[in-house]
Structures are given as C-alpha cells and as structure tokens.
Amino acid sequence: MRLDLTAVLNAIADVVFSRRRAWLALFALVTAGLGYSAGGLRVDAAFNKMVPLEHPYMKVFTQYQQTFGGANRVIVALRQRQGDIFNPAFFQALKQVTDEVFFIPGVDRATVTSLFTPNTRFIEIVEEGFAGGNVIPADFRGTPADLAKVRVNVLKSGGVGRLVANDFKGALVRAELLEVDPVSGARLDYQEVARRLETIRARFETGDLSVHIVGFAKAVGDIADGARGVIAFFGVAFVITALLLYWYSNSLRVTAIALLCALLPVAWLLGLLPLLGYGMDPMSILVPFLIFAIGVSHAAQMTHAWKLEVLAGRDSPAAARAAFQKLIVPGTVALLTDALGFLVIMHIKIEIVRELGVTASLGVALMIVTNKLLLPILLSHASVSDDERRRAAAREERGRNIWPRLARLARPRPAALVLAVAAAALMLGVWKAQGLRIGDLGTGIPELRDSARYNRDSAVVTDRFTIGVDVLAVIAQTRDVPGACTNYEVMDAIDRFEWHLRQVDGVQSVLALTTLAKIIHAGWNEGSLKWRALPRNPLVLAQSVTPVDTSSGLLNTDCSAMQVLIFARDHRGDTIARIVRAIKAFAAANDSERLQFLLASGNVGVMAATNEAVDAAEETMLVSIFGALILFCLVTFRSWRAAACILLPLVLASVLCEALMAGLGIGLKVSTLPVIALGVGIGVDYGIYLYERMQHELEQNAAGLTDAFAEALRQRGTAVLFTALTMSVGVGSWAFSALKFQADMGLLLAFMFLVNMLGAILLLPALAAFLLRPGTRRAG
Amino acid sequence: MGGAGARGGACILLSHALLAPLTGLALLAFAGGVGADAPAATEKALAKIRSLRPLLLDVASAGARLVAVGERGTVLVSDDRGQSWRGAQTPTPATLTAVYFHDARHGWAVGHDAVILRTQDGGETWAIVHSAPREEKPLLDVWFASADSGIAVGAYGLAYATHDGGRSWRPLKVLADDMHLNALARGSGGRLYIAGEAGTLARSTDGGRSWSRLPSPYRGSYFGMLALPDGTLLLHGLRGKIHRSTDDGRSWTPVESGTQANLLGGAVLDDGAVVLVGYDGVILVSRDQGRRFALSRDAEGKALAAAAAAGPEMLLLFGEGGVTRHPLKRP
C-alpha cells in the first residue's frame, strides 16, 4: 500500500514537474481571467439572507408579509436641541424629511408615517358625537395658533410616544422598505437607501436640530462603510505577514512566492464568486482573510519542507519535488478536511451562513491547486545562494535544540502533567462557556461599537419614544370564525393576550386591534375612561372595530388575521427569549381550533427566529464539522487514536473559545456562529501536518515516540509555530477596527490560532504518549 | 458544546406567574408571598406595577390605606400614601370602574359585566357578590350610607340597592329614561345626587329609595360630582364643563375651566382644596370652593380618571398611565 502510494506520488510529480512552463502559463491565464471577473464583484447585503427562512416563525412572517408589512423598517427622528418641537422651523423640517423619505427608492410609500402624512388622524369627542381630522390641518401655516392646535391634536391622536417624543422634543418619520421592487422585480439596493438617508441627515442636521436614523438598511450601510476600513486592516495584516515571512525564510524570493501562493486562491475566489452568482456580503468580509491565513499556513509548510531539502544538499528543483512528494498527502488531506468542514455548515438554513460555507470551502479547495501545484513549481525555479544556505542552516541548528526538549512532552510523566492542565482548562472552559448567550447582549447592534453613530441614534429613539425600534409581532389567526373582529370570545382572548404581554419584563408597550377598539368604545361613550373595555354585544363591538382601517396593520380585510405589536425595550437575546416564552405559554393555554397566536413578525420576531436557529445550528454545526474531521482522520490515518490525538486539542480550543466569548460578552449570533468552525478548520491543519510526520517516523523509521515527535516538530513544527504567531499578530491588529464585530472576530481568531497551535505542539504529543503506547500503536 | 442548559436567562418564575388564570392575580403572584423580609422581591413586584401601568379608574381611602381599581380586575393597595403599591387578589377579569370604602375594612368595587365585589379586610381579598355579563351593561359608581345600605349605578339607567352589606342586590329604578348614570354623591342634609349622560341629574331626599329629576344646565354629559364640606356641589363633565351650585342643585352657574378636555374625576383634599382631572393630563385645582380653578398639565399628557392626596404637597393621579405623582403647588 505504502509502496503503491509512493509510485503514484512519483507519477504525479512527473506530470507536474515535467511540464512546469505549461502549468505556469495555465495558472497565469486562469489568474488573468478570474482577476478580470473579480472586477465585477458587488457588495451584496440583504435582509432575507440573515434570516432562517425555514424557521416556523419565518413561515408566518412570509405568509403575512404582504398583509402587514415586514420587519424592514427605517426611522428618521428629528430632535430639537433646545426647547420643544412646537416651532415653525421644526415643522418645516419635518415636512421636508417626510417628503424626502417618501421619495427614497425602495420605500413602501403607503407605509410612510409622520405627523404630516394623511394616515395620521385624531378623533375627539364632542357633544354631538365624534369629530376628527388630520393632526396637522391642511391650512397649517406655522402660526402660534396653528402650533397650539397641533399640540392639542397630537395629544388627541395618541401619537405621543409613537410619532412625537414623550418629552415633545422630537418627532419621527417611519417607513417600511420593500426588499423586492413589486414592479421591476429588482432587489433593494441597501447601500443606496443608506446613502439617501445619510443625505437627509446632512441636509437637516443643524445647530437646532439633530437627526437620528435607525433601521436595518442604515445599519447595513454603516457596516459596509466600516467594512471598507477592513481592507486597510487586511493591508496591515498582509504587511506584518510579509515581514515575518521574510524574517522566517531569509529570502525575498521565497517570501514573494509564499505570499503569491497564499493570495492567489483569494483572488481566484473573488473572481469565481460573480461567475457563480454570489456577491460579497459585508458580514462575510473576513472569509478572504481566512483563506489567506490558511494559505500562509500551508505555504509556510511547503517552503519549510523545501528549505530542509535544500539544506540536505539538493538543488532547487529536486528539493521542490521532494517537498511536493512529502506534503501532497498531508496537505491535501488537511485542505480537503477544511473544505468538507466548511461545506457541512451549509446545511444550516440561513443564507448567509450557506454563502460563507460555499466561499470558504471553495477558497480552500482552490488552495490545493495553488499550494500543492503552483508553489512547488515556483520554488523549483528559486535559486538559493550559498550565503542564504548558510544562514538557514545556522537557524535550523538553533531549532535543533528546542524541538527535542519540547518532544519530551511525549514521555509519560510530563504528558500526564500536560493532560492534567488540559483537563483543568477544559473544565474551566465548560464552566465558563455556560455563560455564553444567544443573540445580542447590548442594546444597539453589536456589529458596531457602542460609540458608533448608529448605536447612539438607536439609544435616542428607544429612550425618547415609547414604540422604540424593536417590534415583535404576533399574528392572531382565526379559522372558520365569520367576522372574528366582532366575536367577543376572539377579541377577549386577544385582549387577555395584550394584558398578559404587558406584564412581561422587557415589554415597553403592546398595540393590538383590541387596544384601539377599547379606546373607540370609550369614544362612543363620550370618552369616559370607564368604558375602556371590550363590549360583549357584537353590534356594539362592530361599532368599535370598524373605524380601524386595515392600513393600521392590525387586521386584514376579513379579520382572519389580527396582528399584535409588542414593542420591546431592547433586543438582547434574553429579553427576546423571555417575551417569546411568555407568548408561547399564553398560546399553549389559549390556542384553540378557532384562534391561534402565531409567532412571529417584526424585527424582533426575526431575531427570535434567528436566535433559535443559531442555538439549534451551533450544535449541528459543531457535530457536523467534528464528524467530518473524525471521518477524514479515520480514513487518512486508519486509526481512531490518530483522530483522538488530532481532534481532542481542537475540542479544547473550541470550548475555550466559547468561554472567551462568554467572558467578553460576545453573543452567539449569525455573524459569530462560524468563528469556531473557521478556527477549527485552521487548527486541524497543524495537527494533521505534525501527526502525519510523526506517524511516518514511527512506522517507516521505527523511531521511539519522543524521537518521532521531535522529528515531526523539526520538519513541520517551525511552520506551525510561525503561522500561528504571524496570523495572531495579523488578526490581533483588528482590535482597532471601527467595526466591533471585526474587533471581536480578530480577538477570537487570534485566540483560536494560538490555542490550536499550543494544542498541536503540547497536547498532541501528550495524548500520543498515552494513546500510542508501544504495542497498541499498530493495532490502532 | 457547553452551555445550552443555562441559556436565555432564568425568568421561568416570571412566566409561571403570568400563567395565573385570573390575570388580575399576576401582580399578586409576586407580591402575595412577599413579606417585609424580602425587599428585593417587593422591589421587583413594584417595578412590575410601574412597568405594567394598568389603566386605573378610581381610588378610595380605607382608613389610612389607599385602594385603587381598574383594568381587568386590577386592585392595588398602598399603606404609605402611594409610595409603594401591591396587587390584591380579585376574583374577576372584568374591568373595575369604581371603589367605595365605608370604613377601614368594609369596601365595595363595581365594574363591567355589572360585577360587584365586596371586601371585609380592607381590600386584601375580594368576593364577587353580583355579576350579570348578559346584561351587557357596566356599573359605573358605588356608594354606601352605612356598612349595610348602598347603591350601585351604571349604564343605560342600571341601578341596584342593597341592605345587607352587599350580599344581595335588588334593581332600583332611578329615572324613566335609560341614560348612563355616571356618578353618585352625597350632599348636605343627607341628600343624594346622581349625575349622568346628556345632562342627566337626579336627587333623592330619602336615602336613595325614590329619585326626582333636577333641571340641568347642560345638554352634554357629566362624568362626576363633588360635594364639598360646606354644601357646595360641583358637576364636571364633557369638554371641560364645570357647573357649581350652592343651593342643593336648584340652580347652577358655569365655572371657567380653561380647557376643553373631558373632566373625568376629582377629589376634595383634607385641606379643602378641590382637584379635578381629565384628558390630556389636565389638572384643575381650586382653593375657593370651586369658584375659580388653576389649570396645569401632567407632563405625560395621559388621560386621568381619579386623584388623591399623597401628602400636603403631592398629588397621586390615576388613569391611562397607572399611578403617577404630581407636585401640588401651594397658593
């Protein structure tokens, strides 16, 4: 078997190295073509991509999106810096902002609501019955008398807290966005919406007025802006990597070759994405860097192997061929394992995670070509001066003293100590990881820093208005109840639901058809608050419900669905979970054949679904990725002991990563979900490279465990150590990013690089010392 | 990987509390088992009342205690003049519209579904003594002459009387028409008054057995009537209307309120000040037996249904926003 493999490798090497120029020409051609295609790569953000569309909540969401509108709302709040809003300048600005919002492409114009829109009316009780009108009368001129009238009308309209700030120092314009243009079918351009909103701010923010804008579209725009800075950070990481690579290789040429081979898969990937119909999502902006990081790791292995061959006295082409033959198997296995690992996360039914799976596994697969074919071919052309050879030899000599010392960890006694420390770390990790929370932990959006304009705006809107920006909508759906809106049983259940939800901690207010029906019923009784209850008589109930139009978003045309809007204080993961639990408890006790309370819509409804999907996905993802890794290790090394030696350090690293997330207050959500999968994907390389060489030494050269591991470290450990340190420094620099999300990722990935490295060079031999005892070694 | 068990917070207790079949009990679920030795839990219950902000419609004094009633059977009691409130147990989900205490222990509350509740322990526990959901008429006010005899009035001319402390109730005919009877008041000389819809005004001089219509100065509705210690009567109602009588209701003079907001409720404070409250957070205060009123507004602008004194310079306001406090300016 082994002999066959060697023959096969030889044959492959012949094919590769006999036509080096042809290969190089082919690569150049591919690079040119994909480079051209990469020019067409577009930034592609979409609300629906962040959402688990197959989650039951999202089925309800999709079903009623047409009827009640979705969760994609933008709010532009104007705030008077001094005094209250009742001055002509404020109202003029508010009117203009309302118009501006109305004309933003993608805004569902029927949903635009402010004091100036015709859907904002007031009702008052007079001796003769009702009187009503627009809050801002048609003949409004901004005179003191007009303003006084508007002030009274605002109170009568119930718009305080909804359209006007509770302290009368601000007013807002809100609108829903349409993800797909109903006429042209074109997808919504979020960047454009964000840009238009920002021009509104630029125009109206003055010494007297401040403008606060919130909504998914604005958030995406701000994240995309921040993501531009990401490119600068990639630049920093690239330069650091280049410098360290030069220091490591002592050769400009080798450094350039290694960098080229690490960058090529990124370039190819960016070129392939438009061809496959994908864009680059601001949330996935880290993937190219990860591909680069994995590329550097493998390039470091290959150049190191090549250098060792050169030091052993071969010329460049022979050394390249030898390095190729040595690394093609472990390298390809490691890359295929990565690719498989990234592929399995695709069964998580959130589009953006799937995209991440596709891009990451594609990038890693491309690396097999660039790293295992192109790199040795380029190295075979690299000449080595005697001076370089001497210096490299001297450096290797220094390493020679370190590695055997480290390898002593493979002896039983030190191994026991290492295992004890690891076990303690594991227990600590498991304990701390209990604190890991699903969803957002702050009040703003965690992708941006707390001090970011968006998060400050969000705080202003939440503080000053009752409705806030976080809405969870529940659909009360009736079946075979004609005229459900006038059925006391149904309406009373909704009323009880409203009352039930208002008592839940984290609920700011609740708005349902019954809320308005009670107010109108009191209105029919001259506005006496004592009548603010639902009438039992169907005719009287009808009288109280009919004034509520379907445009309120609280009922559909035949009353078979009524929407209850629950305004949450924030969208922290535990707030959402608590509200959802209360809803489920009520539904469980009250749902019947005729009436059901269905979760969920509104932005918090979407978050609830996403949090639940992420919670479920986390386990599936880890099980899948580790399952794939186990399978691959078993197939490659044909030993469960090997799989254990390679994977147990990764398990420890994953647990510690979760503990770190809990400690740093980083919630588990769609954007942070893949970090462990990616970290594991990078970490498994180290283990596979080291173990492959160790196994080779044990089996081919019949070395003792300590010697075998020392040799593995000498040949492969340098590259592992180098890669881990280089990448940690590179991603560590992200801590200074404007995007909090990126700063968090940088920290977590740096941690994963280091801990995986330590696991591979410290824990792996210690595990081997116990699992690969003489006599059991071959039986495994 | 670790952690699934603990995620999502530990508020199971809360959701259990919310499962209480009688929604009015939900407040109690926290407050009920809580003594003075559990300040944290008390604080939590208070925070809950503050955040829930139930619609409150009336308030009464039971000795030193304040008892407020409202939305969905809510009864809140305070033993420190409104500093803190806790929920009391009520056996109905019907909205309570009025409450009356004869003394520190005996009290009655009325509300929708023509429900009448009785307490004998100062408002801690309540029992249903009357309920008629099929009538589709709410009761709107209740008043007792003694611990035994009382009257409840409500919508469409509905009225009941009791002579056994509220254990049993008999229908009472007040006037020939079926206008809403909104409020009961007792003036000087034991005279009883009822004010109601479309200027309805009735008086009884025999403790409520027979009633006669009084001429009304206004065709709109009255929401309440205050009888001042000196015998002055004040009617308040729709669109900021106030009428004042010093001759037991024979003649009325309009009083300028300065607002068009509905005036829903009022109170006579210990120092003789008269307070009327209503829509848009309107607060009217008179220190001259209702001849002139000073207008101010609660900051939130929510509709107010009732008021009580929290101390010499502090008002408690009850309405859409639950209980709020409002400083009372000295003249």
At A626-683, the pLDDT tens digits run: 888 888 888 888 888 899 999 999 999 999 999 999 998 888 877 777 777 778 877 8
pLDDT of B22: 28
More confident residue, A180 or A123: A180
Within a domain: A288: yes
In 3D, which of A500, A502, A479, A470 has the Cα closest to residue A562? Answer: A479
Q: Do A586 and B305 touch (CB under 8 A)?
A: no
Least Cα separation, residue B25 to chain A (angstroms): 11
Residue B1: inside a domain, yes or no? no
Whether the CB of B132 is below 8 Å from some CB of chain A: the reply is no
Nearest CA in chain A to B21: A589
Q: Which of B219, B306, B315, B322 is nearest to B265 (CA)?
A: B306
CB atoms within 10 A of CB A186: 10
Residue given tokens 């801590």 in the structure block = A735
Average pLDDT over residues A542-553: 82
Poorest-pLDDT segment among A154-158, A196-200, B87-91, B160-164: A154-158
Contact B300 A166 (CB under 8 A): yes
How much is the pLDDT for A130?
Answer: 64
Q: What residues in chain B have per-residue pLDDT under 70? A: 1-52, 330-331
Question: Which residue among A125, A502, A532 sits closest to B262, beta carbon to beta carbon?
Answer: A125
Q: How far is A201 from chain B (nearest CA, A)?
A: 29
Overall domain count for chain B: 1
Same domain, A85 and A216: yes
Let me know if residue B286 belongs to a domain.
Answer: yes
How many Å apart are CA A93 and CA A504, to the nearest integer? 38
- Out of A503, A505, A658, the one facing B1 most closely (by C-beta) is A658
| Model pLDDT, residue B237 | 92
Name the residue with higher pLDDT: A160 or B38.
Answer: A160
Q: CATH number of the domain at B79, please.
A: 2.130.10.10
- CB contact under 8 Å between B238 and A438, yes or no, is no
Of the partner residues A537, A573, A578, the one whose CB lies closest to the CB of residue B136 = A537
Pairwise pLDDT comparison (A281 vs A198), residue with the higher score = A198
Per-residue pLDDT, A126? 63
Indicate yes or no: CB of A581 within 8 angstroms of CB of B221: no
Asked whether residue A346 is assigned to any structural domain, the reply reads yes
A615/B11 Cβ within 8 A? no
Domain final residue, candidates A608, A636, A670? A608
- pLDDT of B236: 95
Domain of B78 in residue numbering reads as 12-327
Say which of B14, B19, B305 has its CB closest to residue A505: B14
What residues make up the domain containing A111? 70-221
The alpha carbon of residue B280 is apart from the nearest alpha carbon of chain A, in Å, by: 6
Say whether A503 and B52 touch across the interface (CB within 8 A): yes
pLDDT value for A399: 67
How confident is the model at residue A618, as a pLDDT? 81
One DSSP character per residue, A221-257 reads HHHHHHHHHHHHHHHHHHHHHHHHHHHHH--HHHHHH
Q: A488 and A604: one domain? A: yes
Please indicate, yes or no, whether residues A77 and A217 belong to a single structural domain of this protein.
yes
- CB contact B68 to A (< 8 Å): no
- Residue A447 placed within a domain: no
Selected residue of A436, A529, A580, A650 to mutate for chain B interface (largest B Cβ count, 10 A): A529
Task: Identify the weakest region by mean pLDDT among A93-102, A308-317, B100-109.
Answer: A308-317
Quick check: A218 pLDDT over 50?
A: yes
- CB proximity under 8 Å: B 260-279 to A: 262, 264, 279
Residue A50 lies in a domain: no
> Does residue A601 sit in the same domain as residue A538?
yes
Domain closes at, from A355, A384, A413: A384
Picking from B11, B23, B239 by the largest number of A CB atoms within 10 A of its own CB, the best residue to mutate is: B11
So what's the pLDDT on residue A548? 81
**Would an 8 Å CB–CB cutoff place A128 in contact with chain B?**
no
pLDDT at A127: 62
Q: What pLDDT shows up at residue B36?
A: 32
A200 and A270 assigned to the same domain: no
Cβ of residue A130 closer than 8 Å to a chain B Cβ:
no
What pTM, to 2 d.p., does this model score?
A: 0.79
Given this model, what pLDDT does residue B27 score? Answer: 31
For residue A342, how many C-alpha atoms fall within 13 Å in the half-sphere facing its CB?
Answer: 27
A99 Cα to chain B: minimum distance (Å): 29
Would you say residue B5 lies in a domain? Answer: no
Judgement on whether residues A459 and A595 belong to the same structural domain of the protein: yes
Check residue A14 and give its pLDDT.
85
- Min Cα distance A258 → chain B (Å) is 36
**Over A71-109, what HEC string results?**
CCEEEEEEEECCCCCCCHHHHHHHHHHHHHHHCCCCEEE
What is the C-alpha to C-alpha distance for residues A543 and A481, in angstroms, rounded to an integer? 18
CB atoms within 10 A of CB B165: 18
Query: What's the Rg (C-alpha) of chain A?
Result: 32
Residue-level pLDDT at B50: 52
Mark yes or no for CB contact B14/A125 under 8 Å: no
Is the Cβ pair A578, B55 closer than 8 Å?
no
Q: What's A279's domain CATH number?
A: 1.20.1640.10
Q: Per the domain annotation, does A596 fall within a domain?
A: yes
Q: Which residues of A touch B2 (CB under 8 A)?
A: 429-431, 433-434, 436, 655, 658
Does residue A151 share a domain with residue A10?
Answer: no
On whether both A277 and A162 belong to a single domain, the answer is no
Same structural domain, A265 and A371? yes
Residue A34 and residue A76 share a domain: no
| Closest of A219, A224, A227 to residue A734, by C-alpha | A227
Q: Between chain A and chain B, how many beta carbons pairs sit less than 8 Å apart?
A: 145
Residue among A433, A527, A535 whose CB faces B136 most closely: A535
Which pLDDT score, from 0 to 100, does residue A229 have?
A: 74
Smallest Cβ–Cβ distance between A577 and the set B2, B9, B98 belongs to: B9
A654 chain-B contacts, CB cut-off 8 A:
1
Instruction: Tell me how far CA of residue A216 lies from CA of A182, A292, A354, A421, in angstroms.
Output: 20, 30, 21, 45
Place of tokens 């790199």: A375
Which of A529, A615, A676 lies at the smallest CB-CB distance from B7? A615
Kindly state whether A253 is in contact with chain B, defined as any CB-CB distance less than 8 angstroms. no
Q: Name the minimum distance, in Å, from the CA of A724 to any CA of chain B.
A: 24
Angle at A31 between CA A28 and CA A35, to 5 degrees: 140
Residue A196 is predicted with a pLDDT of: 92
Least confident of A196-200, A354-358, B68-72, B243-247: A354-358
Predicted local confidence at residue B306, as pLDDT:
96
Give B57 to chain A, closest Cα distance, Å.
6
Q: Does A152 touch chain B (CB under 8 A)?
A: yes
**Which residues in chain A have their CB less than 8 angstroms from residue B140's CB?**
528, 530
Of residues A549 and A208, more confidently modeled: A208
- B195 interaction partners in chain A (CB closer than 8 Å): none
A504: tokens are 């839940």
Neighboring chain B residues of A504 at a CB cutoff of 8 Å: 14, 18
CB contact under 8 A, A529 and B55: yes
Taking the Cβ of residue B51 and every Cβ of chain A, the question of whether any pair is shorter than 8 Å is answered with yes
User: CB–CB of A528 and B182 under 8 A?
Assistant: yes
pLDDT for residue A73 is more than 60: yes
Using a CB–CB cutoff of 8 Å, tell me whether A532 touches chain B: yes
Per DSSP, the three-state class of A210 is strand
Looking at every residue in chain A, the average pLDDT score rounds to 85
Residue B11 confidence (pLDDT):
26
pLDDT exceeds cutoff 70 at A214: yes
| pLDDT value at residue B122 | 92
Residues of B in contact with A152 (CB under 8 A): 280
- The beta-carbon neighbor of A127 closest among B93, B138, B238 is B238
Are A485 and A568 in the same domain? yes
Q: Do residues B82 and B106 lie in contact, with contact meaning Cβ atoms separated by under 8 Å?
A: no
- On the question of pLDDT at A69 being above 60, the answer is yes
Nearest-by-CA chain A residue for B20:
A500
8 Å CB contact between B240 and B259: yes
Structure tokens at B58: 């009336």
- How many domains would you assign to chain A? 3
Residues 215-244 of B with CB under 8 A from A: 219-221, 223, 238-239
Q: How confident is the model at residue A773 (pLDDT cuts 50, 70, 90)?
A: low
DSSP string, A733-774: GGGG-SBHHHHHHHHHHHHHHHHHHHIIIIIHHHHHHHHT-T
User: B114, B74 in Cβ contact below 8 A?
Assistant: no
Residues 489-518 of A with CB under 8 A from B: 496, 499-500, 502-505, 507
pLDDT of residue B18: 27
What value does the mean pLDDT take over residues A686-710?
Answer: 86
**Sequence-separated contacts (24+) of B159-168 with Cβ below 8 Å:** B160/B116, B160/B130, B161/B208, B165/B106, B165/B118, B166/B108, B166/B116, B166/B118, B166/B129, B167/B118, B167/B129, B168/B129
CA triple A195-A198-A201, angle to 5 deg: 160
| Closest-CA residue of chain A to B156 | A525
In a mutational test of the A interface, the residue from B12, B16, B18, B236 whose CB has the highest number of chain A CBs within 10 Å is: B18
Please tell me which residue of chain A has the smallest CA distance to B264. Answer: A528
- Residues from chain A that touch B51, judged by Cβ atoms under 8 A, are 505, 507
Please spell the DSSP secondary structure of A564-631, one letter per residue.
EEEEES--BHHHHHHHHHHHHHHHHHH--SSEEEEEEEHHHHHHHHHHHHHHHHHHHHHHHHHHHHHH
The mean pLDDT value for A582-599 works out to 93
d(CA A755, CA A657): 9
User: Is B232 within the bounds of a domain?
Assistant: yes
